[in-house]
Amino acid sequence: MRHPLHALCPYFAMFPEGFVLDQLLAFTSPGELVLDPFAGRGTTLFESLLNGRRAIGTDINKVAACVTGAKIDVPQKEKLFERLDELERAFWRIRTVKPFATKFFSACYSQPTYQEIEFLRTHLNWRVSKVDRFIAALVLGSLHGESHKSKLCLSNRMPRTISTKPEYSVRWWNERGYIAPKRETFNILRAVAEMRYGISPPQMKGKIRLADARRAGSLYREHTGEVKLVVTSPPYIDTTDYAEDQWLRLWFLGGPPYPKARVNRDDRYSNVMSYWSFLSEVWAGCARLFSPGTTIVVRIGGKLDSRTLLEGVRGSLQHGLKQQGLSVKTEYHNSSLIKNRQTNSFRPGTNGERREFDFVFKLQ
Ligand SMILES: C[S@@+](CC[C@H](N)C(=O)[O-])C[C@H]1O[C@@H](n2cnc3c(N)ncnc32)[C@H](O)[C@@H]1O
């Protein structure tokens, strides 16, 4: 049975846990260390812990760090529910009415729901407290989605994977006469939490750092030479801007009330050469964590053909790991067609990756 924490909050270009499990079984034994430098929603880290492997990761996006952190270091259920009660009591005690941040918010949320979200936005200390981080991740998972299909979703109809742009969303809702549902945020959070705690979380805890992948080696010095397996999916060339596409969730985590392109300079590449040098810098930044025998599994997509991608990824590894005295052997490559994504029905004409490739490299 799928662990309910996997679905805590979806993410763009996420890979399924079955893919990670196959790599864990093929290349690691229990207790060994797994790294994902582009952790996203934390599939590699969480699946590793579920299977008795240790796990570490980095991601430059706050949504990724918050969601992954919530999954890999889960607070006790009782503490979570106590905190939710405490926050709700404080909400009713304080009762300030905040105006909608923009027109988008007044069309996206009903007035009472917006007040609760705003309150949580200002009072959750998600960077410091793991209980608050878990609650923040629950909010992120319910913040937007297909509310006509799910009572656990707080917004007017939106995709759950990405946040659509404000002007487009307002126009889309107005043309169709869709209005924001009245939702009781605290009760929804309790219901979702019950669901997510349906199966016990892993005993082991992982580590995630909100940081550039190129710093992984220096951030995790205590794991020098220990990484047995990397299962990762770097940002695809010219495909999406993770910060822009997650703008509403980033707003909840303290960001501005509008999308901002290129917040993280490195999460979209349109220039192939700079992409390969970026990847090579990432491997160089991780190199001290590797040793002969480390396996690196990369799932990658975008507009390039498989040969170019394989050459590019292998070249970036060879270049990046040279200093560490490691060489690279290609073990396997495979491609799969990407199925229709839910974003397509909301964003007709969305350009996107059509095919993904899996490459496996062994370090010597
Ligand atoms: C394809 S997604 C990974 C999805 C992940 N495999 C999952 O299942 O959720 C790529 C991730 O790389 C992150 N990223 C982009 N540039 C980065 C950088 N320089 N350092 C760390 N993370 C970065 C993005 O924020 C995004 O979360």
Q: Please write the tens of the pLDDT for every residue from 269-310.
A: 667 888 899 999 999 999 999 999 999 999 998 778 888 889
Cβ 121 vs Cβ 256: under 8 Å = no
Distance (angstroms) between ligand 1 centre and the Cα of 42 equals 10
- Ligand 1 centroid to Cα of residue 329, in Å, is 24
User: Domain boundaries in the chain?
Assistant: 4-68+204-363, 77-196
Q: How far is the CA of 20 from the centre of ligand 1 (A)?
A: 15
Pocket of ligand 1 (CB under 6 A): 11, 13-15, 38, 40-41, 43, 58-61, 64, 212-213, 233, 235, 242, 264, 266-267
Residue 235 C-alpha to ligand 1 middle, in angstroms?
6
For ligand 1, atom 12, the nearest C-alpha belongs to 38
Q: Quote the ligand 1 centre to 58 CA distance (angstroms).
A: 8
Q: Which fold has domain 4-68+204-363?
A: Rossmann fold (3.40.50)
Strands of the sheet containing 328-337, edge to edge, are 207-210, 54-59, 33-36, 227-232, 295-301, 355-363, 328-337
Q: How far is the CA of 324 from the centre of ligand 1 (A)?
A: 24
- Residues 226-276 have pLDDT tens digits of 999 999 999 887 666 777 889 999 999 999 999 987 666 554 466 788 889
Atom of ligand 1 nearest to the CA of 58: 21
Long-range contacts of 240-247 (CB under 8 A, 24+ apart): 240/12, 240/13, 240/162, 240/268, 240/352, 241/267, 241/268, 242/12, 242/61, 242/64, 242/267, 242/268, 243/61, 243/267, 245/12, 245/162, 245/163, 246/11, 246/12, 246/61, 246/63, 246/162, 246/163, 247/163
pLDDT of the chain, 364 residues: tens digit per residue = 899 999 999 887 678 999 999 999 999 999 999 999 999 999 999 999 999 999 999 999 999 999 999 999 999 999 999 999 999 999 999 988 999 999 999 999 999 999 999 999 999 999 999 999 999 999 999 999 999 999 999 999 999 998 999 999 999 999 999 999 999 999 999 999 999 999 999 999 999 999 999 999 999 999 999 999 999 999 887 666 777 889 999 999 999 999 987 666 554 466 788 889 999 999 999 999 999 999 999 999 877 888 888 999 999 999 999 999 999 998 877 766 555 443 333 333 344 446 788 999 999 9
Nearest-atom number in ligand 1 for the CA of 15 is 8
Nearest residue (CA) to ligand 1, atom 15? 267
- Most informative mutation of 242, 341, 358 for ligand 1 (most atoms within 8 A of CB): 242
Q: What is the pTM of this model?
A: 0.93
Ligand 1 atom closest to Cα of residue 38: 12
Strands 355-363 and 295-301: antiparallel
Question: 162 Cβ partners below 8 Å, 6+ apart?
Answer: 12, 240, 245, 246, 343, 347
Q: Is 241 left (phi over 0), alpha (psi -120 to 50) or beta?
A: beta
Please give the distance, rounded to the nearest whole angstrom, from the Cα atom of residue 308 to the centre of ligand 1.
21
Ligand 1 atom 27: the closest Cα is on which residue? Answer: 40
Contact 77, 197 (CB under 8 A): yes
